């Protein structure tokens, strides 16, 4: 545990170091402090906005790079379709309430942004190579790797609705 915190701390200073280095590197001194040093971000979901591009992308990497507009209300029909897809294509490695080959799915909509979840489903191979959170999950899964299940964006959206439904019931 101790070690993990230390490693995280190290990683954070590295990120900061890189940010600072790139701030000095772009020649023009005309940014009027626009590059104020970012404060320590301990969350993996950064607010969208003018924060530096070098920082972790809260959407992850993959086809979904625009903010999704999700209605507050759960679409029951869509969630039911998502449950079917989940049973068919995901239960080889995931359970809802407990860790299996991969993480438990319960609470995933609270831990991650909807865009990140979509990208993890649609482009896991990219995510585990490029997204720091997904990389960490590989380690926590003892090196097991999520396989791309070839879902369409629509199917992934249905699964997301199923996850939203589960998390709304807790």
Residue 107, Cβ neighbours under 10 Å: how many? 15
Pick 14 or 144: Cβ nearer ligand HEC:
144
How far is 56 from 162, CA to CA, in rounded Å?
26
CA distance 44 to 39: 14
- Whole-Å CA distances, 61 to 20, 49, 77: 23, 17, 28
Query: Judged by CB under 6 A, does residue 94 bind ligand HEC?
Result: yes
How many residues bind ligand HEC (CB under 6 A)? The answer is: 28
Is 61 near ligand HEC (CB under 6 A)?
Answer: no
Q: Which is nearer to ligand HEC, 15 or 102 (CB)?
A: 102
What does the alpha-carbon distance between residue 108 and residue 69 come to, in Å, rounded to a whole number?
Answer: 18
Question: Judged by CB under 6 A, does residue 111 bind ligand HEC?
Answer: yes
Q: Shortest distance, CB of residue 144 to ligand HEC, whole angstroms?
A: 4
Q: Is 68 in the site for ligand HEC (CB under 6 A)?
A: no
Residue 89 as a binder of ligand HEC (CB under 6 A): the answer is: yes
Are 97 and 139 a contacting pair, CB within 8 Å? no
* 158 interacts with ligand HEC by CB under 6 A: no
CB 62 within 8 A of CB 127: yes
Q: Which residues in this chain contact ligand HEC in the complex, by CB under 6 A?
A: 86, 89-90, 92-94, 101-103, 108, 111-112, 117, 120-121, 124, 128, 134, 137-138, 141, 144-147, 149, 151, 159
């Amino acid at each position: 545990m101790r070690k993990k915190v230390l490693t995280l701390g190290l990683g954070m200073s590295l990120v900061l170091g890189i940010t600072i280095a790139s701030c000095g590197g772009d020649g023009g001194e005309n940014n009027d402090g626009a590059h104020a040093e970012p404060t320590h971000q301990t969350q993996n979901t950064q607010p969208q906005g003018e924060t530096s591009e070098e920082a972790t992308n809260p959407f992850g990497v993959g086809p979904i790079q625009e903010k999704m507009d999700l209605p507050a209300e759960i679409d029951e029909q869509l969630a039911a379709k998502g449950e079917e897809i989940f049973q068919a294509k995901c239960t080889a490695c995931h359970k809802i309430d407990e860790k299996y080959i991969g993480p438990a799915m319960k609470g995933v909509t609270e831990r991650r942004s909807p865009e990140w979840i979509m990208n993890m489903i649609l482009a896991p191979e990219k995510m585990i190579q490029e997204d720091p959170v997904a990389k960490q999950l590989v380690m926590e899964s003892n090196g097991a790797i999520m396989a791309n299940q070839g879902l369409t964006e629509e199917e992934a959206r249905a699964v997301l609705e199923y996850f939203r439904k589960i998390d709304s019931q807790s």
